[in-house]
Chain A
């Protein structure tokens, strides 16, 4: 099973590598480039959301932070793109430490709200600062080479995927995250430092978002607080990961491809029904929580069925949070 998965991953990667050689269609390249960006974002979100059980509702803030850092350094500091991009990733990771310190000590509920607020705080910051261009945003020098961005995105997303695959599925780190997700108190008894590990996971989740944001900025050539610091990135990453399957790497990737394909199709052919999109997106996410708690991937791999009922007691009442609240 493992080997065949690796094989298929390899084949997928090779297919993606040759696409630009097969087509001269720059629009198709653009679509696939963006799809890959969403794969990277959804998978990165899942490091914290799925593996660690902390829902980051401010994923877009880190994406935007990367985008702005790259843009500011390139435009005001005249840094080369590659360096500015790396700086964007580093800054996104540093922001995760700052944001995580007060919030990751707490229960997931606080974290979810705090990250949501953080996203708005970062957006406000970009709106009032001078060097970010305020509400007017920033333009970057157009470098309109679709192949370049395609390969860059492909390489970055592949690296992100492989690194996460190794760290989460084949090294101790992933296991630690899952242990903390399942029972933080119990994990402490086994020598794990939850807050430290959670902050590491947060950084691991936000650095890719920051880097992808930087690529986005250079690719699209224009960023402003509404487009890179709005709700879109967060909303879509969450939906893609939940729909695809939390706590896996393949799940969010599949979710990203399907939802992005749906979105592209929807807006290419059904744009008269505009706002239905939100309704469909919302309904899909709400229903998948109820009927597909393991996401699409749970359905495909049968993971959902193999798992025995969670506990002999009625799964019903008493969330763990409540029980832990008692001293």
Chain B
């Protein structure tokens, strides 16, 4: 047992290598995400986004700063879906790998634990996927995010629904009791009330709860809209439950979960005409200066690399890399970054306003969305022909919304 302790000690202490820092001609990029644990699904999607960006940058020779190109090298830390492991990983990336900047965690919980550590070492971080409004209320100086928070994205589709004819008058809003879903449901509710849709029922329910009694009771109220904040499994259960009690609202609204292939795969024709929220789809008309010319080009590259369609999380993660790329060029910082250069990089990020394949990136420098990307237009999507199609706002719409929704029993 003593030997074991001694061995472990050596192993732990022995892992502090002294890195030769003097003239490094590449960027060290930390990647903290959840590759295992409950959030591994999403975590691995973010990893793909970050990896794809790194691959594309290096194929182009690297990040161009003052006419010279510096490749990037990624250093991973698995947060294991645990805030403590995320913080630990951040500590390692900061002190052992001495990374120049960090591409951030998948979930808001891990982000909230990682951010203070990086604050301490003054290392800029962009998360490509955390979308809880909480993060931005903390006003971390070095933390940014490419995906707008759910209370920003959630209101757009409600507004879009309110503009359809005949206008929906009543709604039932339900949300699962986790941070993301609850914030989504609250955003739906606030937006509905703002657009003159009467919210007949608003309930936050325990995650995984069988909702059929609640929906049976709701059915009696004949709501025009049923809006639900939840994750993939819960979304599938909700649609199946509505199907089982045979109630078709005029519109069924959820958040980004409907854009996941699993949603359509699991529900087939029952997934049709479900509304969702997103900020990016492969068909979004965008124009990028760096790496990918538009959304389609990115989608093709992603499809080629991973064999599955890219979703907006993955795109947001690749865009996070691009944001760093652009900011480094503007700040004129070259690796290795010292403290002053990291600060310059952070300032450049705050000042950034660029067009990318992902859309516009413009981090807010004040207010409740502090350092979240508010350059994007939130999108309303609807499943049509087994894929998400943008139906609003008008300038991006690919097809008109199908409304009111076809009753379950009339579908082919």
Please say whether the chains A and B touch (CB closer than 8 A): yes
Asked if A277 is an interface residue, CB under 8 A from chain B, the answer is yes
- In the complex, the answer to whether A227 meets B82 with C-beta atoms within 8 Å is yes
Within 8 A of A (CB), among B174-229: 177-179, 181-183, 206
Task: Please name the residue on chain B nearest to A251 by beta carbon.
Answer: B1
Give residues of chain A (24-48) contacting chain B, Cβ–Cβ below 8 Å. Answer: 25-28, 30-32, 34-35
Q: Which residues of B contact A31 (CB under 8 A)?
A: 12, 88
Contact call A275/B83, Cβ cutoff below 8 A: no
Q: Are A257 and B13 in contact (CB under 8 A)?
A: no
The answer, among A28, A223, A277, for a CB contact under 8 Å with B36, is: A277
Most buried by A among B80, B91, B119, B120: B91
Contact assessment for B83 and A144 in the assembled complex, using a CB-CB cutoff below 8 Å: no
Closest residue of chain A to B16, judged by CB?
Answer: A25
For the complex, what is the distance from the CA of A206 to the CA of B9, rounded to whole Å?
28
Contacts of B138 in A (CB 8 A): 139
A135 touching B13, Cβ below 8 Å: no
Chain B 24-54 per-residue mask, 1 if CB under 8 angstroms from chain A, else 0: 0000000000011010100000000000000
Q: Are B112 and A275 neighbours in the complex by a CB distance under 8 Å?
A: no
State which of A22, A128, A261 has its C-beta within 8 Å of the C-beta of B13.
Answer: A22
Give min CB distance, A259 to chain B, whole Å: 11
Residues of A within 8 A of B36 (CB): 267, 271, 274-275, 277
Which of A8, A23, A136, A222 has a CB less than 8 Å from the CB of B113?
A222
Residues of the B chain whose Cβ atoms lie less than 8 Å from the Cβ of A257: 4-5, 8
Q: Are B76 and A28 in contact (CB under 8 A)?
A: no
A226-B109 in contact (CB<8A): yes
When A27-B91, A224-B109 are in contact, do A135 and B2 touch as well, CB less than 8 Å?
no
> Is the CB of A297 closer than 8 A to any CB of chain B?
yes
Distance, CA A317 to CA B52, complexed state (A):
59
- A31 to B9 CA separation, bound complex (whole angstroms): 10
Secondary structure at chain B's binding surface: helix, strand, loop or mixed? helix
Answer yes or no: A293 CB below 8 A from chain B CBs.
Answer: no
A28 touches B12 (CB 8 A): yes
A293 to B175, CA, bound (A): 46
Q: Which residues on the A side are within 8 Å of B178 (C-beta)?
A: 135, 226
A75 interface contact, C-beta 8 A: no
Indicate if the CB atoms of B116 and A30 lie closer than 8 Å.
no
A271 touches which of B13, B76, B120 (Cβ 8 Å): B76
The verdict on A127 contacting chain B, using a C-beta distance below 8 Å, is yes
A246 to B112, CA, bound (A): 37
Interface size class of A (residues with CB under 8 A): 35 or more
Q: Which of B9, B120, B138: most chain A Cβ within 10 A? A: B9
Which partner residue on chain A sits nearest B176 by CB separation?
Answer: A135
Residues of the A chain whose Cβ atoms lie less than 8 Å from the Cβ of B177: 127-128, 134-135
> Please, which residues of chain B bring their CB within 8 A of the CB of A258?
4, 8
B117 near A: Cβ within 8 Å?
yes
Task: Flag whether B84 is at the interface (Cβ < 8 A).
Answer: yes
Are B109 and A137 neighbours in the complex by a CB distance under 8 Å?
yes
Q: Which of B35, B85, B91, B119 contacts A274 (CB 8 A)?
A: B35
Q: Is the CB of A15 within 8 A of B112?
A: no
Question: Closest chain B residue to A127 by CB distance?
Answer: B177
- Quick check: A27 and B16 within 8 Å, CB to CB? yes
How far is the CB of A273 from the nearest CB of chain B, in Å?
A: 9
B131 in contact (CB, < 8 A): no
Q: How far is the CA of A25 from the CA of B96 in the complex (A)?
A: 8
What is the CA–CA distance of A275 and B35 in the complex, to the nearest angstrom? Answer: 9
Give CA–CA (A139, B108) in the complex, Å: 12
Contacts of B1 in A (CB 8 A): 250, 254, 297, 300
Residue pair B182, A220 in contact (C-beta under 8 Å): no
Q: Chain A residues near B120 (CB, 8 Å)?
A: 142, 144
- Indicate if B15 sits at the interface (CB-CB under 8 A): yes
Q: Which residues of A contact B134 (CB under 8 A)?
A: 136
Pairwise interchain contact B40-A274, C-beta atoms closer than 8 A: yes
CA distance A191 to B179 in the complex (A): 52
Pairwise interchain contact A223-B83, C-beta atoms closer than 8 A: yes
CA distance A142 to B116 in the complex (A): 7
Chain A residues positioned under 8 Å from B155 (CB to CB): none
Tell me which residues across on chain B come within 8 A of A25, comparing CB atoms.
13, 15-16, 95-96
Q: Which of B83, B91, B96 contacts A224 (CB 8 A)?
A: B83
Q: How far is the CB of A124 from chain B (nearest CB, A)?
A: 6
- Docked-complex contact A27 and B92, CB < 8 angstroms: yes
B40 touches A15 (CB 8 A): no
Which single residue of chain A is at the shortest CB-CB distance from B36? A274
Determine if A220 and B8 form an interchain contact, defined as CB atoms under 8 angstroms apart: no
Would you call B165 an interface residue if the criterion is a C-beta within 8 Å of the partner chain's C-beta atoms?
no
Bitwise, A257-280 to B at CB < 8 A (1) or not (0) is 110010001011001101101000
- Whether B179 lies near A27 (C-beta < 8 A) is no
Contacts of B40 in A (CB 8 A): 274-275
24 contacts between A and B (CB under 8 A): A15-B9, A23-B16, A27-B16, A28-B12, A28-B15, A31-B88, A32-B9, A35-B8, A135-B177, A142-B119, A219-B84, A220-B84, A222-B83, A224-B83, A224-B179, A250-B1, A261-B12, A267-B78, A267-B80, A267-B85, A268-B78, A271-B78, A274-B36, A274-B78
| With A26-B95, A271-B36 already in contact, 19 other A-B pairs whose C-beta atoms are closer than 8 Å | A15-B9, A19-B9, A25-B95, A26-B91, A28-B13, A31-B88, A139-B138, A142-B116, A146-B91, A220-B87, A222-B109, A222-B112, A227-B83, A227-B109, A250-B1, A267-B80, A272-B35, A274-B36, A275-B36
10 nearest A-B pairs in the assembled complex, by CB-CB distance: A274-B36, A142-B116, A25-B16, A27-B92, A222-B113, A222-B112, A271-B78, A135-B179, A27-B91, A135-B178
